[in-house]
Protein backbone atom coordinates (compact mmCIF):
# COMPACT_ATOMS: atom_id res chain seq x y z
CA UNK A 1 0.00 0.00 0.00
CA UNK A 2 2.58 2.60 1.03
CA UNK A 3 4.82 1.36 -1.81
CA UNK A 4 2.05 2.20 -4.23
CA UNK A 5 1.54 5.63 -2.69
CA UNK A 6 5.29 6.24 -2.90
CA UNK A 7 5.26 5.32 -6.60
CA UNK A 8 2.21 7.48 -7.13
CA UNK A 9 3.90 10.49 -5.53
CA UNK A 10 6.95 9.91 -7.72
CA UNK A 11 4.70 10.15 -10.77
CA UNK A 12 3.47 13.57 -9.71
CA UNK A 13 6.84 14.85 -8.55
CA UNK A 14 8.79 13.49 -11.51
CA UNK A 15 6.34 15.08 -13.97
CA UNK A 16 6.83 18.51 -12.46
CA UNK A 17 10.59 18.01 -12.00
CA UNK A 18 11.28 16.96 -15.58
CA UNK A 19 8.96 19.53 -17.14
CA UNK A 20 10.26 22.26 -14.82
CA UNK A 21 13.84 21.41 -15.78
CA UNK A 22 13.05 21.51 -19.50
CA UNK A 23 11.34 24.89 -19.14
CA UNK A 24 14.29 26.29 -17.23
CA UNK A 25 16.46 25.41 -20.24
CA UNK A 26 14.74 28.32 -22.00
CA UNK A 27 15.96 30.84 -19.42
CA UNK A 28 17.83 33.57 -21.31
CA UNK A 29 16.80 32.11 -24.68
CA UNK A 30 13.08 32.96 -24.89
CA UNK A 31 11.86 34.57 -28.10
CA UNK A 32 10.89 37.78 -26.26
CA UNK A 33 11.64 38.91 -22.73
CA UNK A 34 8.07 38.43 -21.48
CA UNK A 35 7.99 34.83 -22.70
CA UNK A 36 11.40 34.14 -21.24
CA UNK A 37 10.19 35.41 -17.84
CA UNK A 38 6.92 33.49 -18.09
CA UNK A 39 8.71 30.21 -18.86
CA UNK A 40 11.12 30.74 -15.96
CA UNK A 41 8.25 31.54 -13.59
CA UNK A 42 6.33 28.47 -14.68
CA UNK A 43 9.47 26.39 -14.17
CA UNK A 44 9.81 27.85 -10.67
CA UNK A 45 6.25 26.90 -9.75
CA UNK A 46 6.79 23.36 -11.04
CA UNK A 47 10.08 22.91 -9.20
CA UNK A 48 8.41 24.20 -6.03
CA UNK A 49 5.64 21.64 -6.47
CA UNK A 50 8.30 18.98 -7.03
CA UNK A 51 9.80 19.75 -3.63
CA UNK A 52 6.44 19.12 -2.00
CA UNK A 53 5.60 15.92 -3.94
CA UNK A 54 9.03 14.36 -3.65
CA UNK A 55 9.35 15.54 -0.04
CA UNK A 56 6.13 13.70 0.77
CA UNK A 57 7.29 10.68 -1.27
CA UNK A 58 10.43 10.53 0.87
CA UNK A 59 8.33 10.64 4.06
CA UNK A 60 6.00 7.91 2.83
CA UNK A 61 8.93 5.74 1.81
CA UNK A 62 10.45 6.08 5.29
CA UNK A 63 14.08 5.58 4.25
CA UNK A 64 15.16 9.15 5.10
CA UNK A 65 15.48 10.16 1.46
CA UNK A 66 14.86 13.88 0.90
CA UNK A 67 13.30 15.54 -2.14
CA UNK A 68 16.83 16.40 -3.29
CA UNK A 69 17.97 12.79 -2.91
CA UNK A 70 15.06 11.58 -4.99
CA UNK A 71 15.64 14.21 -7.68
CA UNK A 72 19.40 13.94 -7.92
CA UNK A 73 20.31 10.39 -6.95
CA UNK A 74 17.97 8.22 -9.02
CA UNK A 75 18.66 6.91 -12.48
CA UNK A 76 16.29 7.01 -15.45
CA UNK A 77 14.69 3.61 -14.79
CA UNK A 78 13.56 4.78 -11.33
CA UNK A 79 11.75 7.83 -12.70
CA UNK A 80 7.96 7.68 -13.03
CA UNK A 81 7.24 10.74 -15.16
CA UNK A 82 5.02 10.48 -18.22
CA UNK A 83 6.68 10.36 -21.65
CA UNK A 84 5.10 13.67 -22.65
CA UNK A 85 7.18 15.77 -20.25
CA UNK A 86 10.39 14.00 -21.29
CA UNK A 87 10.05 15.20 -24.86
CA UNK A 88 12.70 17.78 -25.72
CA UNK A 89 11.92 21.49 -26.05
CA UNK A 90 12.22 21.57 -29.84
CA UNK A 91 11.22 24.99 -31.13
CA UNK A 92 9.11 27.42 -29.10
CA UNK A 93 5.92 25.99 -30.65
CA UNK A 94 6.79 22.47 -29.55
CA UNK A 95 7.55 23.67 -26.01
CA UNK A 96 4.22 25.50 -25.81
CA UNK A 97 2.29 22.55 -27.26
CA UNK A 98 3.87 20.17 -24.72
CA UNK A 99 3.01 22.68 -22.02
CA UNK A 100 -0.60 23.05 -23.14
CA UNK A 101 -1.16 19.29 -23.40
CA UNK A 102 0.31 18.78 -19.92
CA UNK A 103 -1.23 21.86 -18.24
CA UNK A 104 -4.77 20.86 -19.18
CA UNK A 105 -4.28 17.38 -17.74
CA UNK A 106 -2.42 18.75 -14.74
CA UNK A 107 -5.22 21.10 -13.70
CA UNK A 108 -7.87 18.36 -14.01
CA UNK A 109 -5.67 15.95 -12.06
CA UNK A 110 -4.88 18.44 -9.29
CA UNK A 111 -8.51 19.48 -8.98
CA UNK A 112 -9.46 15.83 -8.48
CA UNK A 113 -6.55 15.22 -6.10
CA UNK A 114 -7.55 18.24 -3.99
CA UNK A 115 -10.41 15.99 -2.80
CA UNK A 116 -8.12 13.04 -2.04
CA UNK A 117 -8.73 11.23 1.27
CA UNK A 118 -5.00 11.60 2.03
CA UNK A 119 -4.90 15.10 3.57
CA UNK A 120 -1.31 15.76 2.60
CA UNK A 121 -1.93 14.88 -1.06
CA UNK A 122 -5.08 17.02 -1.02
CA UNK A 123 -3.24 20.00 0.51
CA UNK A 124 -0.41 19.98 -2.04
CA UNK A 125 -2.85 19.50 -4.92
CA UNK A 126 -5.07 22.40 -3.78
CA UNK A 127 -2.08 24.69 -3.51
CA UNK A 128 -0.57 23.63 -6.85
CA UNK A 129 -3.93 23.92 -8.66
CA UNK A 130 -3.94 27.67 -8.03
CA UNK A 131 -0.64 28.11 -9.81
CA UNK A 132 -1.48 25.68 -12.60
CA UNK A 133 -4.66 27.65 -13.36
CA UNK A 134 -2.38 30.43 -14.57
CA UNK A 135 -0.20 28.00 -16.53
CA UNK A 136 -3.32 26.71 -18.30
CA UNK A 137 -4.63 30.14 -19.20
CA UNK A 138 -1.31 31.15 -20.61
CA UNK A 139 -0.58 28.05 -22.67
CA UNK A 140 -4.13 27.94 -24.10
CA UNK A 141 -3.88 31.60 -25.15
CA UNK A 142 -0.55 30.96 -26.84
CA UNK A 143 -1.86 27.88 -28.66
CA UNK A 144 -4.67 29.98 -30.14
CA UNK A 145 -2.40 32.95 -30.89
CA UNK A 146 0.24 30.84 -32.64
CA UNK A 147 -2.08 28.27 -34.25
CA UNK A 148 -4.35 30.94 -35.68
CA UNK A 149 -1.34 33.11 -36.51
CA UNK A 150 0.95 33.33 -39.51
CA UNK A 151 1.34 30.45 -41.99
CA UNK A 152 4.73 29.76 -40.39
CA UNK A 153 3.46 29.66 -36.79
CA UNK A 154 0.38 27.66 -37.83
CA UNK A 155 2.52 25.05 -39.58
CA UNK A 156 4.85 24.74 -36.60
CA UNK A 157 1.98 24.35 -34.14
CA UNK A 158 0.33 21.72 -36.33
CA UNK A 159 3.54 19.70 -36.55
CA UNK A 160 4.04 20.05 -32.77
CA UNK A 161 0.51 18.74 -32.21
CA UNK A 162 1.07 15.82 -34.61
CA UNK A 163 4.33 15.00 -32.86
CA UNK A 164 3.06 15.20 -29.26
CA UNK A 165 -0.54 13.99 -29.47
CA UNK A 166 0.47 10.31 -29.26
CA UNK A 167 1.96 11.01 -25.81
CA UNK A 168 -1.25 12.09 -24.05
CA UNK A 169 -2.96 8.69 -23.97
CA UNK A 170 -0.57 7.54 -21.25
CA UNK A 171 -1.87 10.26 -18.91
CA UNK A 172 -5.28 8.62 -18.73
CA UNK A 173 -4.27 5.02 -17.98
CA UNK A 174 -5.54 4.08 -14.54
CA UNK A 175 -3.56 1.26 -12.92
CA UNK A 176 -3.19 -0.30 -9.46
CA UNK A 177 -0.78 2.43 -8.35
CA UNK A 178 -3.34 5.14 -9.09
CA UNK A 179 -6.13 3.14 -7.49
CA UNK A 180 -4.09 2.70 -4.32
CA UNK A 181 -3.90 6.48 -4.12
CA UNK A 182 -7.65 6.83 -4.83
CA UNK A 183 -7.02 8.52 -8.15
CA UNK A 184 -8.69 7.65 -11.45
CA UNK A 185 -7.03 9.41 -14.39
CA UNK A 186 -9.29 7.62 -16.89
CA UNK A 187 -12.22 9.61 -15.50
CA UNK A 188 -10.55 12.87 -16.62
CA UNK A 189 -10.41 11.97 -20.30
CA UNK A 190 -13.78 13.27 -21.47
CA UNK A 191 -13.31 16.71 -19.87
CA UNK A 192 -9.78 16.83 -21.30
CA UNK A 193 -10.92 15.91 -24.81
CA UNK A 194 -13.69 18.51 -24.75
CA UNK A 195 -11.27 21.27 -23.72
CA UNK A 196 -8.67 20.12 -26.23
CA UNK A 197 -11.17 20.06 -29.10
CA UNK A 198 -12.42 23.57 -28.26
CA UNK A 199 -8.92 25.07 -28.03
CA UNK A 200 -7.69 23.38 -31.19
CA UNK A 201 -10.76 24.51 -33.12
CA UNK A 202 -10.13 28.09 -32.05
CA UNK A 203 -6.47 27.69 -32.94
CA UNK A 204 -7.45 26.30 -36.40
CA UNK A 205 -5.39 23.19 -35.70
CA UNK A 206 -6.48 19.66 -36.63
CA UNK A 207 -6.34 16.84 -34.09
CA UNK A 208 -4.76 13.64 -35.44
CA UNK A 209 -7.18 10.80 -36.22
CA UNK A 210 -5.26 8.08 -34.45
CA UNK A 211 -5.55 7.53 -30.71
CA UNK A 212 -2.35 5.48 -30.68
CA UNK A 213 -0.55 6.11 -27.38
CA UNK A 214 3.09 5.68 -26.42
CA UNK A 215 3.33 4.23 -22.92
CA UNK A 216 5.94 3.23 -20.40
CA UNK A 217 6.96 6.43 -18.61
CA UNK A 218 4.57 6.36 -15.65
CA UNK A 219 5.43 2.73 -14.92
CA UNK A 220 9.12 3.17 -15.64
CA UNK A 221 8.95 0.22 -18.06
CA UNK A 222 10.21 2.17 -21.05
CA UNK A 223 11.29 5.80 -20.87
CA UNK A 224 12.20 7.67 -24.01
CA UNK A 225 15.88 8.15 -24.86
CA UNK A 226 15.54 11.83 -23.95
CA UNK A 227 15.18 11.30 -20.20
CA UNK A 228 18.69 9.92 -19.68
CA UNK A 229 20.25 12.85 -21.52
CA UNK A 230 18.31 15.32 -19.41
CA UNK A 231 19.22 13.60 -16.15
CA UNK A 232 22.89 13.48 -17.13
CA UNK A 233 22.87 17.26 -17.33
CA UNK A 234 20.61 17.86 -14.33
CA UNK A 235 22.44 15.46 -12.03
CA UNK A 236 25.94 16.20 -13.27
CA UNK A 237 27.09 18.00 -10.15
CA UNK A 238 25.91 15.29 -7.76
CA UNK A 239 27.45 12.61 -9.98
CA UNK A 240 30.80 14.40 -10.19
CA UNK A 241 30.92 15.53 -6.55
CA UNK A 242 28.71 13.19 -4.48
CA UNK A 243 27.20 14.90 -1.46
CA UNK A 244 28.27 18.39 -2.58
CA UNK A 245 26.33 21.19 -0.90
CA UNK A 246 26.66 24.97 -0.99
Partner 1 sequence: MVKPSTAQVWDWLDQVPDPEIPVISVVDLGIIRDVQWQDDTLEVTLTPTYSGCPATSVIELSVDAALRDHGVETLTLKRQIAPPWTTAWLSDKGRAKLETYGIAPPNPAGGPTRCPRCQSENLKRISQFGSTPCKAQWQCRDCLEPFDYFKCI
Nearer to partner 1, 143 or 168 (CB): 143
Nearer to partner 1, 33 or 221 (CB): 33
**Shortest distance in whole angstroms from residue 126 CB to partner 1:** 5
Residues that bind partner 1 (CB under 8 A): 34-35, 37-38, 41-49, 51-52, 119, 122-124, 126-128, 130-131, 134, 137-138, 141
**Gap between the Cα atoms of 67 and 45, Å rounded:** 15
- Indicate if the alpha-carbon torsion angle 90, 93, 95, 97 is positive or negative: negative
**Shortest distance in whole angstroms from residue 124 CB to partner 1:** 7
Nearer to partner 1, 51 or 159 (CB): 51
**Shortest distance in whole angstroms from residue 136 CB to partner 1:** 10
- How is 118-138 classified by DSSP, letter by letter? SHHHHHHHHHHHHHHHHHHHH
* Residue 47: strand, helix, or coil: helix
Nearer to partner 1, 56 or 227 (CB): 56
Nearer to partner 1, 56 or 196 (CB): 56
> 17-54: buried (b, 16+ CB within 10 Å) or exposed (e) per residue?
bbbbbbbbbbeeebeeeebeebbeebbebbbebbbbbb
**Shortest distance in whole angstroms from residue 165 CB to partner 1:** 25
**Gap between the Cα atoms of 137 and 152, Å rounded:** 23
Phi (first) and psi of residue 245, to 5 degrees: -135, 160
Q: If we measure between CA atoms, which residue out of 42, 46, 51, 40 comes closest to residue 16?
A: 46
**Shortest distance in whole angstroms from residue 213 CB to partner 1:** 29
Amino acid sequence: MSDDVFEFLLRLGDNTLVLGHHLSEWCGKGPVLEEDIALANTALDLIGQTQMWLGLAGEVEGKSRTADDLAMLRDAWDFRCCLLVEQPNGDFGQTIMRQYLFDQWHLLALTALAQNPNNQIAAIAAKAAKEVTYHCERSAELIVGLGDGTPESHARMQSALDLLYPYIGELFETDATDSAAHFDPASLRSAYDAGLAATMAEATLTLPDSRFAHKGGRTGARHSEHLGHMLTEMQWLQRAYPGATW
